[in-house]
Amino acid sequence: MDSDRIEKKIVLKAPLERVWRAISDSARFGTWFGAEIDGPFVAGKVAVGRIAPTEVDAEVARMQEPYRGLRWQVVVERIEPMTLFSFRWHPGAVDPKHDYSNEPMTLVTFELAEVEGGTSLTITESGFDQIPLDRRIAAIKGNDAGWAHQTRLIGKYLALDDQG
């Protein structure tokens, strides 16, 4: 398994233009992502906002509720209409007391293409190998379902220990 990147590929039953707007228009992006973003996305510029529970899924909204108002920030990298949108960010940056600014960021890329029946979307997030290990552990610990993941993590840890 590649430890540096995540790749997701789906086909959405919606026209290319609508998918493009849902991703590149900061207000629409915020609606499904769960953030209130100030101003539009501009290539090369920082986009700042706050975590705002998503309006799309009530259960997820409930999970996001404790993080409401927390600073949300990305550095927009490329905007190529109908084709590609990318930004850099600090994944899992949920500790308001921690200064993430000197830590490496991952690169998130959305690639779109028109296909029969809708729009294909490929999302990749890369650069995880550069994220400090303690930050990765803290991200699992500090997350919505943190406890469940923590128990899984420790369960795996102990299982591995038993195997020697």
Partner 1 sequence: MLELQDGVDTWAKAAPVFAALGDPVRLAIVARLCKEGPLPTIEFKQCAGGVSRQGITKHLHVLEEVGLVESDRVGRDRQWRLRARQLAAAREYLDWMSARWDQRLERLRAFVEDGA
Backbone angles phi, psi at 46, to 5 degrees: -80, 135
Closest approach of partner 1 to the CB of residue 45, in Å = 22
State the helix-helix crossing angle for 26-33 and 16-24, rounded to 10 degrees.
90
Q: How far is the CB of 50 from partner 1 (least distance, A)?
A: 17
Dist CA 164 CA 158 (whole Å): 10
Residue 19 vs 52, nearer CB to partner 1: 19
Interface residues with partner 1 (CB under 8 A) are: 1, 3, 6, 8, 10, 12-14, 18-19, 22-23, 28, 31-34, 54, 56-57, 60, 91-92, 121, 123, 125, 128-129, 132-134, 136-137, 139-140, 143, 147, 149, 151-158, 160-161
Q: What minimum distance in Å lies between the beta carbon of 79 and partner 1? A: 17
Nearer to partner 1 among residue 10 and residue 46 (C-beta):
10
* Tokens at 163, concatenated: 């195997």
The first and second tokens of residue 87, run together, are 């930004």
Please, which residues have CB within 8 angstroms of residue 34's CB and are 6 or more apart in sequence? 51, 52, 53, 54, 60, 61, 64
Closest to partner 1 by CB, 44 vs 108, is 108
**Beta carbon of residue 52, minimum distance to partner 1 (angstroms, whole number):** 13
Q: Quote the least distance from Cβ 162 to partner 1, whole Å.
A: 10
Tokens of 12: 């959405």
Q: Which is nearer to partner 1, 116 or 160 (CB)?
A: 160
Distances (CA, A) of 72 to 10, 39, 46, 145: 25, 13, 11, 19
